[in-house]
Structure formats: C-alpha cells, structure tokens
Amino acid sequence: MFSIFPPRASTAAGQVDALYTFEMAINILMTALIFLCVFFFAIKYRRRSPDERPRPIHGSIPLEIAWSVIPFGIMLVMFVWGTRLYYDLYTPPRDALDIYVTGKQWMWKVQYPGGQREINELHVPAGRAVKVTLASEDVIHSFFVPAFRVKHDVVPGQYETVWFQATQPGRYHLFCAEYCGTNHSQMGGWVTVMDPVDYEAWLSGAPRGGSLIEQGEKLFQQYGCVSCHVLDASGRCPTLRNVYGHPVVLEDGRTVTADEAYIRESILNPNAKIVKGYRRDIMPVFQGQISEDGLLQLIAYVKSLSGATPAPQAQPKGNQK
Ligand code: CUA
C-alpha cells in the first residue's frame, strides 16, 4: 500500500507528524488562497475597454491589520508548537538506556554498555527511552531513522546525542543522511526493536569482550593513565573519582561541568582546560592515538567512577554521626 509517511514506531513520531501535517495544511491553504485571489482579481478587475482608467484606491486600515495580525498569530502557533517539540526531542530522559554509535566511512559501529558490538545493526527494547551518543571517526555523517523521526548530524571531534523511545517491535531502516563520500548511499543498516524480555535474552547471547567499563579500565591501564590519575587526590594529575557530572574549577578561574565532551577534550588535548592547582604539559596529548570507540570506553570508565556506582570504600548505611 502506498503511504506518505514511514511507519510511526516511536513516541515522537505522531507528534512530529502532527506538526508537519499542520504546517503542510497551512502551506497549502495559503498557496491556494493567494492563487485564488490572483485569478479572482484578474477577472474581476480586468480592463474592459481600451480607454478605461482604474479608480484610485487609498488602502484600508482594517484589511491591513487583518492580513498582518492573522498570519502573525499562525506563525506564533508554529513557533511555540515547534519549539516545545524541539525541546522534548533534544532532552533525553534521565533514565534512558545508553548506546554508543560511531560513524565511519562507510558504516555505523554500535557499542552497548555491556560491551556487545555490532556493525550496521542496532538493537533496542520497545517501550524504553534510548539515548544514542554519536561520534564520527572521519567526516560528517547523519544518523537517520525515519520510522522514529530521528535525524541528527554526527560531527567529528565532538559528541552529539539523540534519543527516542521505540513503540513497536520490528525492523526499521537506518540511514546516513549526509553525503560523506563514495559509498554514502550504502552507509545504512537496520534498527531492530525487540520486546524487552527478548532484548535481555539477545543482550546476554551477544558476544562480548567485557563491558564498556571493563574495556575502558583496560585502556586506562594500557595508556598509563593510572600512574598519574590515581584514584585519590595524591597524584600528579586530578583524581577522577566523582569528577563526571560535577563542576570543575579551572586555573583561569572558570568553572565547567565535567560532561562527556569535557572528558573527551581532556584526553585528546589535556592542555585545553587545566584544573586549578595542576600544571600543564604533564599529560601527553592523545589526539590521534585513541579511536573513537576507545574514547567512549574510557569515558564509560571515568563515568563509572562517579555517583551511580558507589566507591568501594563507601561508608556502610546507617553509620554514626
Ligand atoms: Cu555517512 Cu553519508
């Protein structure tokens, strides 16, 4: 059967389509109105005899107010509606499942928190918000899942995120929507939405080499990070315990929040932001040394040192004081 829209398989799909349909309807109405007026006036005010002179017209205030205020109101509806939807679509829920996707000429590489990996295949559970962190190893790609109404550029050198909540089990196309070289048209794959129970089974059956955090910890040792960033404050470099998600005071007095982008930058170009009380040029520059996959693993490890997982020496519950 012919259908204008791809299947609606995410919670956002209906909302995006509603806004799109509304804007389309306004477009068609306005276009029709203008064309009808052109034809109508062309006939009504046509020149009837060679020596006819039209009567001068000096304008109409009520008419001018009407054609200014009504379109303005319609534009405001579009603006408020569009902005609200935009904020919803760009604010992932806090409990979203993390998945990491790296674009590379010409494939999508997928990593799950449990360490499972895939290429050009993305498995997600139905009914659960999923936050996808996007990175690129080379050029700009664009992560596009029409059935979820999700499209986002993947830009080298930074992280982008998208989120969606799939509603129906099934298989949906994944595309690259940004021309990225010779095989751009073949850079795509499938998103498989599974029933949550099947998803757990699938996750436990997928091959893996340690969770993302374990792989990150391995890299942390391998690159020698562990010799300076010891996990208390006595090292030559700042401790990484409880850094993620917390404010960091820099030597120039600024305060930044240690998010993924900050950690990534601090690995690749440590001198960009020096923590107050520490010296520059202590840590080597890792630009070009670590793959995007490796960075995501390291970041997962640094994240694991904060908040969510309690520190090993944490006080037992109900202690004195
Ligand atoms: Cu990647 Cu087009």
Q: What is the chain's mean pLDDT, rounded?
A: 85
For the Cβ of 212 lying below 6 angstroms from any atom of ligand 1, the answer is no
* Order of strands across the sheet that contains 141-145: 121-125, 188-194, 170-176, 141-145, 150-154
Greatest mean pLDDT among 47-51, 81-85, 310-314 lies in: 81-85
Length of the chain: 321
Tell me which residue has its CA closest to atom 1 in ligand 1.
141
Dmax (CA) of the chain: 104
93-138: pLDDT as tens digits: 988 999 999 998 989 999 888 878 888 989 999 999 999 999 998 8
pLDDT at 206 (0 to 100): 67
Q: Which atom of ligand 1 is nearest to the CA of 140?
A: 1
pLDDT at 310 over 50: no
**CA 80 to centroid of ligand 1, rounded, Å:** 32
pLDDT digits (tens, 9 = 90+) for 47-56: 888 888 878 8
Note the pLDDT of residue 320.
35
Distance from the alpha carbon of residue 144 to the mean position of ligand 1, in angstroms: 10
Give the pair of three-digit tokens for residue 211. 């969770």
Indicate if the pLDDT at residue 22 is higher than 80.
yes
In short, whether 103's Cβ falls inside 6 Å of ligand 1 is yes
For ligand 1, say whether the CB of 109 is within 6 Å of any of its atoms. Answer: no
pLDDT of residue 76: 96
The whole-number pLDDT of residue 260 equals: 85
Higher-confidence position of 310 and 151: 151
Task: Kindly state if the Cβ of 178 falls inside 6 Å of ligand 1.
Answer: yes
pLDDT score recorded for residue 184: 93
The CA distance from 241 to 239, in Å, is 6
Ligand 1 binding pocket includes 141 (Cβ within 6 Å):
yes
- 3-state SS assignment for residue 145: strand
Listed in sequence order, the residues at least 6 apart from 278 whose beta carbon sits closer than 8 Å to its beta carbon are 236, 237, 238, 251
Asked whether 184 lines ligand 1 (CB < 6 A), one says yes
Residue 265: its pLDDT value, please? 86
CA–centroid distance, residue 141 to ligand 1 (Å): 4
